[in-house]
Amino acid sequence: MSKQEQKSPFDAARRRFLKTTSVGAGAALAITVLPNLARSDDLPHLSPSDPTAQALGYVEDTTKVDGAKYPNHKPTQDCANCNFWQGGSAEYGPCQLFPGKSVHTKGWCSAHADKKA
Ligand code: SF4
């Protein structure tokens, strides 16, 4: 037992509790949050020339959509407000329609579906 613990066993127990819980909370955060962040960053960007991307008219910039080809496109639509977007506030993030790839937050494709409230 250290001199500190001899002086105040309650304080020593409280210090041990705080150490244990802070290490546990840090480990829980690392296990749950960090892999998701790393996964989003690690995904290769979807190329507009990818055959599936081409089939759905995917572009990285919603302002570049061919309005003649996609008359239902609205300039306010982009990946960030699409129901299939899973990237949070990241510049690139996963889309449920393109597994294993990340799409640009300002991108668009003809499968765009307004995010449900
Ligand atoms: S489905 Fe939505 S999030 Fe995915 S590429 Fe198309 S517009 Fe973007």
Per-residue pLDDT tens over the stretch 54-95: 999 999 999 999 999 999 999 999 999 999 999 999 999 999
69 touches 57 (CB < 8 A): yes
pLDDT at 39 over 70: no
Task: Give 2's contacts (C-beta < 8 A, 6+ positions apart).
Answer: 12
pLDDT at 29 over 50: no
pLDDT at 41 over 60: yes
- Full-model pTM: 0.69
**Percent of the chain topping pLDDT 70:** 65
Q: Give the residue, out of 58, 64, 101, 105, with the most ligand 1 atoms within 8 A of its beta carbon, to mutate for a pocket test.
A: 58
Distance CA 67, CA 88 (A): 27
Matching residue, tokens 């290769």: 44
Residue 112 CB less than 6 A away from ligand 1: yes
pLDDT at 116 over 50: yes
Atom of ligand 1 nearest to the CA of 110: 6
